[in-house]
Structure 1
Amino acid sequence: MKKQDITVILLSYNTKKITETCIIKLKKSKDFCEKKLGNKIKVIVVDQGSKDGSALVIKNKFNWVNVLSLSENLGFAKGNNLAMRQVRSPYILLINSDTFLNKDTLYKVLKNMDENPNIDMLQVGFRYANGGFEPCGGYLPNPLNTILRFFEVDILLYNIGLIKPIPVMGFSFYAKDREMEWISGAFMFLKSQVFEKTKGFDENIFFYGEDFEWCKRIKDAGFRIQYTSKIWVTHLSGASTHNENGSSYIKQLKGYLYYHEKYFPKYHGAVKSALILSLSLKTVLFAVLDNAKARVYKEILRESLKL
């Protein structure tokens, strides 16, 4: 097995305790891999203007970590791209601060890539903190599967074999290794040449949708994205994004609309109209069933009209 260096990049934004845990677990995986292979693993933490003292704590407690302290939150895409431009190693690992590696994670992913040179980007399995399975990818958006997702019938139609949904939720999909159309930005292990050729995430996207947008360009450039069921990490899912009052859902919707405006401009209007209709129906439905949810959907609808 070749001695290949890795640069690990993680973003931090007001998640001091979680980021500390992430780095501690990362250090164990780093030490294990370096001892086994004799390679070098560099770690870059991009602190996006945190107000909780994250950057100072990381600098003081983990002097082996390279900290890029930004004055403001530039977003997921810009933050990662900024760090990736500094990479000189053949491999890059992007993780969220709420993604926790196991001791042998780095060794195993590097071994997987070494044994499968046709793979350019690798996704591992995700588990929640309680050990439960978490979906982590699927099929690229198109006008049909996006509209069906807005109306929340995409998974039903997938289960009877009619469509390919954007996120695939069923465990059976992830039970075996497979080529993927897109993978989650919470863990992306890739060859540096992928970034060099595609220039990374689209910086017009602040957060949500940047992973499948980049994966589309990666696929279009001829690179192979692979999922492996043999390696897994823990993902707290949402701990690093501060989901409040439907704000994360609004950002997701904005990502979908931007993607269609960029790649399916003829259908952008139809997709947006379907979004407004689906939110209107949900607002009416939950007005009867759950007033709290109705208020959230009403706010989401109001914000969506501005998109």
Structure 2
Amino acid sequence: MKHASIAIVILNWNGEKLLPQFLPSVVAHSHLEGTKIIVADNGSTDGSMALIEEQFPQVIRLQLPKNYGFAEGYNQALKQIDAEYYILLNSDVEVTAGWLEPMISIMENDATVAAVQPKILSWHNKHDYEYGGAAGGFIDKLGYPFCRGRILNVIEKDEAQYNDEVNIFWASGACMAIRADLYHKAGGFDSDFWAHMEEIDLCWRLKNMDFQIRYTPLCQVYHLGGGSLPYNNPRKLFLNFRNNLFLLYKNCPPNRLLKVIFVRMLLDGVAAFKLLSEGNVNGFTSVIKAHWAFYANRNRLKTKRRKLKLIAPPRWHDEIICKSVIWKFYFQNKRTFTEVNS
């Protein structure tokens, strides 16, 4: 394999406690020639950058002037970084020996692959898949994201059941290798997402451009998860519900768009009242606010959809599972990717 230029880019926001715990593994296991490690600071107010200067002098520091959020923070950082490949890595990920080579090798040997995700396991329970990525991401026919190894909130144990290299629909932003030129050509992350599902949106655009997203089990990392916001946080619920609608409106092909949006909004309403029945008033409010934000942004979304059509028209893809994960989960009691996809 020729020596490609690789930039491992960790977006940091107030990570003073996380960096000493997770950055040492990145430094220890990232010696592939042509590799540099960069921590891009997203307007932190703690001492994380001073800590890096003192404890990790080999790591390049890139200071952003404010907190742009996850999506735009990466956009701002990556436009200042010259490399053939970017490795987007969360600050709460522990990597393992040899983690870079399989991902880079796939892209070096197959020009149709735009991005690669490794096996992502839980840092807390190292035999379990991790919620936000597991063994590669998919969506169902209504746009619900799930993973090989994680269906809704049910996590599978890693028993080598997903130890095959396959094309997936989306790669997790927790750990993703991506061609730098394609990241920029596709427009990068959508800054309006702020955080959550921006990687699904980007991967959908890349697939519309006739590139593949790949999963490899030949390298694995351990993700703490919930490092910035816990999974049941009202802000996270708002972003997930809103961004899912953004994602669908931007990327669904015309013959599916209205039906998918209509059904999803009905199901979101069911989810909102379920949260309310469980006493989660803040969760209920988050869903209502998410729908209001979707309506408020319709004109912006229409403009984005028109612009994306000029680059690559919205399309349906083989990796979109033409089943309802909600139906399979709640009515047929299917709890694993294999069962849902059968």
TM-score bucket of the superposed structures, by smaller chain:
0.7 to 0.9
TM-superposed CA distance for 1:203, in Å, is: 1.5
Structure 2 equivalent of residue 28 of structure 1: 28
Relative to structure 1, the CA distance from residue 181 to residue 244 in structure 2 (aligned partners, 3 Å threshold; closer, same or farther) is: closer
2:143–2:248 Cα contact (<8 Å) kept: no
Identity %: 24
Tell me, yes or no, if structure 1 residue 102 matches structure 2 residue 77: no
Structure 2 equivalent of residue 17 of structure 1: 17
2:164–2:217 Cα contact (<8 Å) kept: yes
State the one-letter code of the partner of 1:77: A
The 3-state SS of whatever aligns with 1:86 is coil
Relative to structure 1, the CA distance from residue 168 to residue 41 in structure 2 (aligned partners, 3 Å threshold; closer, same or farther) is: farther
2:8–2:87 Cα contact (<8 Å) kept: yes
Q: Distance in 1 between matches of 2:24 and 2:34?
A: 17
TM-superposed CA distance for 1:29, in Å, is: 1.4
Q: Distance in 2 between matches of 1:123 and 1:29?
A: 17
State the one-letter code of the partner of 1:119: V
Relative to structure 1, the CA distance from residue 242 to residue 56 in structure 2 (aligned partners, 3 Å threshold; closer, same or farther) is: farther
2:119–2:220 Cα contact (<8 Å) kept: yes
Structure 2 equivalent of residue 121 of structure 1: 115
2:100–2:219 Cα contact (<8 Å) kept: no
The 3-state SS of whatever aligns with 1:21 is helix
Query: Unaligned 5+ residue runs, structure 2?
Result: 294-342
TM-superposed CA distance for 1:10, in Å, is: 0.8
TM-score, length-scaled by structure 2:
0.73
Tell me, yes or no, if structure 1 residue 74 matches structure 2 residue 76: no
2:129–2:155 Cα contact (<8 Å) kept: no
Tell me, yes or no, if structure 1 residue 182 matches structure 2 residue 182: no
Structure 2 equivalent of residue 202 of structure 1: 190
Structure 2 equivalent of residue 3 of structure 1: 3
Relative to structure 1, the CA distance from residue 44 to residue 114 in structure 2 (aligned partners, 3 Å threshold; closer, same or farther) is: same
Structure 2 equivalent of residue 248 of structure 1: 236
State the one-letter code of the partner of 2:130: E
1:141–1:166 Cα contact (<8 Å) kept: no
Higher-helix-fraction structure? 1
Structure 2 equivalent of residue 279 of structure 1: 272
Q: Distance in 2 between matches of 1:112 and 1:245?
A: 37
Structure 2 equivalent of residue 266 of structure 1: 258
Q: Distance in 1 between matches of 2:143 and 2:245?
A: 13
State the one-letter code of the partner of 1:263: N
Q: Distance in 2 between matches of 1:82 and 1:45?
A: 13
Structure 2 equivalent of residue 36 of structure 1: none
Relative to structure 1, the CA distance from residue 145 to residue 302 in structure 2 (aligned partners, 3 Å threshold; closer, same or farther) is: closer
TM-score, length-scaled by structure 1:
0.80
2:165–2:214 Cα contact (<8 Å) kept: yes
Tell me, yes or no, if structure 1 residue 297 matches structure 2 residue 283: yes
Relative to structure 1, the CA distance from residue 166 to residue 245 in structure 2 (aligned partners, 3 Å threshold; closer, same or farther) is: closer
Task: Provide the alpha-carbon RMSD of the alignment.
Answer: 2.9
TM-superposed CA distance for 1:270, in Å, is: 4.2
Structure 2 equivalent of residue 236 of structure 1: 224
Tell me, yes or no, if structure 1 residue 50 matches structure 2 residue 50: no
State the one-letter code of the partner of 1:14: N
2:22–2:94 Cα contact (<8 Å) kept: yes
TM-superposed CA distance for 1:134, in Å, is: 2.1
State the one-letter code of the partner of 1:139: F
